Amino acid sequence: MVDSVEPDSLAAWIGLRRGDMIVAVNRTPVSSVVDLRGMLAGRRAIVALELIRDGNRLFMVAR
């Protein structure tokens, strides 16, 4: 679950919000925060995020 979003960060820019739950990165399921950090570490390409917000499934793309 997203605990906080820093102003002017990539997360803020793509629209992530506190409380969002990221469930997949590039269609690969995320099972833990450690998983998520590993999936995002060093990424410079396009990243597709699947998340749950207020019970709704959303898809976001970060470039």
pLDDT at 44: 72
H runs (alpha helix) in the chain: 10-14, 33-40
Q: What is the pLDDT of residues 24-48, one digit of tens each?
A: 999 999 999 888 888 888 767 888 9
pLDDT at 12: 87
Q: Indicate if the alpha-carbon torsion angle 25, 29, 30, 36 is positive or negative.
A: negative
Looking at the chain, the whole-number percentage of residues with pLDDT higher than 70 is 98
**Per-domain residue ranges of the chain:** 21-62
Q: Of 13, 34, 30, 10, which is closest to residue 22 (Cα–Cα)? A: 30
pLDDT at 36: 86
Q: Report residue 19's pLDDT band, with 50, 70 and 90 as the boundaries.
A: very high
pLDDT at 23: 95
Q: State both tokens at 33.
A: 């925060």
